[in-house]
Structure 1
Amino acid sequence: MSKLNILFVCGAGLGSSFAAQMSTEDVLNKLGVEAKLDHVDISSAVSMNPDVIITAENFRSQFEKFNIDPATSIVYLKNIVSKPEIEEKITPVLQDKGAI
């Protein structure tokens, strides 16, 4: 399988999405998963087709209004830098996508 494309999303595409990306990178390294990581603002994310979107729980209502490709898995985090939460929520997604 080719590398997973994981997109981190926040309001401006800078601060919290990048913080989540750095924490997730540590989790992926621990799990031995290689992925292409990028971070963007929420309006840009709609036009992209990543394998996985990782975002904060407070963006759930906005994502529910968008027409996101059903093949894209969305992971909502309560604490965007919590490595235990990221690992708990991303592991089943990675298994489903055949990455682990």
Structure 2
Amino acid sequence: MKTIMAVCGSGLGSSFMVEMSINDILKEAGISGYQAAHNSLADASPSQADIFVVAADLAPSAEHLPNLIVLNSLIDRNELKDKLLAKIN
């Protein structure tokens, strides 16, 4: 099982919201073999996930994470869907 981790500054609010959106997108697209998780940027390490999702303002601090998806808007579900499906496929 591969992991997609949403990361935010505190690891609580926005990353949890993105995690739920990731789960919805995976389900709607019929994609299995992936699970979503969330964490704070300070606690996220490259070995914790296969793909990481962060907001643009955190991207410079998240360069140590592999397979990074940078979102301009955390609430734009279409942006997340397009970038996530492109990364998976």
TM (normalized to structure 1)? 0.79
The sequence identity of aligned pairs, in percent, is 26
Q: Secondary structure at the match of 2:48?
A: coil
Q: What is the CA distance between 1:48 and its match in structure 2?
A: 3.5
CA distance in 2, matches of 1:15, 1:48: 23
Q: Secondary structure at the match of 2:59?
A: helix
CA distance in 2, matches of 1:81, 1:48: 27
Q: In the alignment, which residue of structure 1 is the partner of 2:73?
A: 79
Deviations 1:29-50 (A, max 9, x none): 1111132211110011125331
Gaps of 5+ in 1: 96-100
Q: Secondary structure at the match of 1:90?
A: helix
Q: Find the structure with the greater CA-based Rg.
A: 1
Which of 16, 21, 29 aligns to 2:27? It is 29
CA distance in 1, matches of 2:54, 2:17: 11
Structure 1 segment 54-73 matched on structure 2, within 5 A? 54-64=53-63, 66=64, 68=65, 72-73=66-67
Q: In the alignment, which residue of structure 1 is the partner of 2:48?
A: 49
TM (normalized to structure 2)? 0.87
Q: In the alignment, which residue of structure 1 is the partner of 2:88?
A: 94
Deviates most, 72-81 or 7-16: 72-81
- Could you list the runs of 4 or more consecutive aligned residues of structure 1 that deviate by over 6 angstroms after TM superposition? none
Gaps of 5+ in 2: none
Aligned length: 88
